[in-house]
Structure 1
Amino acid sequence: MNFKSNNLSSKHNLVKYNNKLNFINEHNIKNLFIILLILILLICIFSLSKIMLFSKNPKNIVNSFEKCIENSNVLALKNLLYCNDNSLELNEKTLTKFLDYLNENPSYKIHIIDHLRHQSSLKNDTNEEKELFNLKKSNNNNYKIFVKPVYCTIHTPIRDTNITVDDNTLVTSNSNDFNRILGPLFPGKYKFTAIYKNNFTSVQDNLDFDFISSYKNSSDFNIKLLQDIQNNMVLVHGDFPEAKIYVNGKCADILLEDSTYIGPVEVNSKIYASININGIELKSNVCTYDGYSKDIYLKFDDYILSSPTFTNEEDIKNQITSLVKDYLNNLPNAINNNDFSYISKYLKINSNIYNEKLNFINELNEKKMTYYIKDINISKIELDNSKLNFVVKASETCSITDTEGNTINKTYNIKYFGSYDKTKSELLLTDLSLY
């Protein structure tokens, strides 16, 4: 009995001991956790106070700025800079470009560091902002290097100009005499490009602009692109308002009726207009741009404008057929009567056929020969693109009788060449050849 009682007592004491030990452990863990929190808080307070003390000293900021440049430390540099315009992003790309600029321009790097050191040595914050980078107190009374953002007005004189900044598309001009304010930009060097394209030409203007070296107590700048383009713009108009304008064979997609300036036009460019009337393509005179003329009038010859010939291709061929047949039917009268006027009205004066037939008539008359046309067959009529020049393939059978009554019958395959003569406003024959 005593043995059992002692055993129970021992177990009871062991349980009490374990409970006490657990309580002590839990209490110690809580105390340890509290101590750790206090230590962390003290470290944070110490670090923060150290940072605040560091930022309170302007010379520390300048020294850190110089180290950031030497080590190309973009992240640390970002913590030193501040801009009042929140839309200016102080990102890695921008700051890397700034560090590259300083390394490429060591004289400015020395200048700006000296300027910041001078500001850090001043007893009072004078708020002087003679440079794009200035040492000032921020809202929390700590020193920062304030970045003065730059702005520029981009101007181009012609609409539909694509404008890029550092190869990034900025805007396409939607009017002539176009202006657009760009900014804020981080101070540095930028490449501005303006590209204008139309159906017949392409012009590009590049400008590398350094906002830092150009800064003179003002952060507003004017960027003018394609300013010379107006020197090569030409006002084109002419007889047919509906005619399309062409430059060097390329359609400008502009009608003469628009009476507008086209360009830019390169010197020695060929400018003309074309219009299709009833299937016939009419072309104006061709003007060669001399680089000085600002007003060009494209003229369609009066004989083309008023000619009844230009209705349709079938009508033209009918008129050509009548021309050749009338000429051949009157050729015997001209020979047998020794009167060139019977056929001269069908021939262009001083052309090959004109001179040849004049000699032919004189020759046959000297030999007292008579001449008759027995058959005429026109096999083909060819027109060029302008419908102003033509070739006729014909076969003709004729008889020639001499003074003794001997008659010779001959058949010839002849090509007749002709064109529309503006002086007479009619179709005329100009040449012939056997084929």
Structure 2
Amino acid sequence: MSFHPDPTKTNHKPVPPVTRAKASTQKSKGKQLASLLIIWLVVAGSVFVWYGKKQTDPMNQVEAFEEAAAQKDGKAMAALLTPAVKEMKITDDTGQQLVDYLNENPDVKEEMVKLFKEQAVTKRTADIPEEHPQLILKKGEKKWFFFDTYQYEVQPYYANIHVNFKGTAITLDGKSYGTTKEDEAVIKAGPFAPGAYMLVADYKGEYGKEKTEMTIDFYESLSAEASFYVEMTGNGVAVTSNRPEAILYVNGESTGKTIREMRKYGPVKRDGSVKLSAVYDYPFGSGNAEPVQVKDQEKIHFDIHPDRQDVYEGLRKTIVDHTYEWIQAFENQDTSYLTHVQDDDYFARQRGYYNELSSEGKQWTGSFNYLRFDLDSLVISEENGITYASVDAEVNITGRAYSASSYEGDYIDDSSDFWTYGLKYDETAENWYIVNTTKIDGLSGSNIETTR
């Protein structure tokens, strides 16, 4: 006998209504939690994006740059820098040199900050500026996988060191860059961060031994490569002169350089085959120093004085012109004719002569006959860059004093006076001027020259 269940009957108990309501509530809470989770994720993501962008905003780097410069904090500045090439070192000293440079050149700092702010806004951070190419604001590695970071990339500099002597060892920033194998060689060194570095050149060769040091500064260069010149003098000789602008001559040939520029001439053989001299061009003529044979001297001084003939010609012309003016001034009783004199006592003396004539009711007229110059009496001196000279001369004039009313008077034929004329050269006016006159008894020299 088989058993068939009655489909109208069941062994399951009916679900109470309360149990079904509870399940519905739990399902609703799950949806709410999911919604809250989504909202939280959106908010958290937004905060993450906001915070990430804020932390990596390039303007932060600009502000940090300004702060480090303002506080003169080299260490903080160095932390903002990264080398453009891995061979270049960035140290705290690099940062300190940068902040020192910016504070010494506030206009440069202002221009750099302005450029960095423009780059931060436009995000065009890879452009190298023409005026201040030492730093560029550039994108770095990603932060938290999503956000761009920014840093100041320090551009490399290279030094082309020109050395005139073979056998010169070059050290720059404590690193050896080798020894020159020939004269007029070029050694390339780098890369360097912008800043000042000590260059040491050590020469050992046929002209002896010599060591020189110089500071090179890349901040002053706008080019990625800068040239520096090392002039070794070897077994040279120092040169000085009372006229530093004089040109140095070697065996009669001009070096084209002044004593001031040269300072030390060399290398030079010391077997007596080399003679040094100097020539200075005065506005009124030349000046020469006696040639000196180079032997064992460490220093040669050139005492340069004007050429006597050049000075004499200037004095002679001035005194002759003055004599003609003196005649005009006496005839007109007016010192304004005397354009070659700078001596108040002389003017006062002339006015005294005019007053004496006028008080007697007389006039005077005259004519120039000759001047005789005693060249042996010529004396030349220099003081504080001014050239002075004096010379004795005989002045012969024919003159006639006459009554202003009757025109009658006495002739004085071939009247001579003897004077020592003192003159100085005015470089601004480019003229000699009489600054004093002293009456003397006569000419004592044997070298006499006459001008008529």
Q: TM-score range by the shorter chain?
A: 0.3 to 0.5
TM-score for the superposition, normalised by structure 2: 0.38
Between Structure 1 and Structure 2, the one with more strand by share is 2
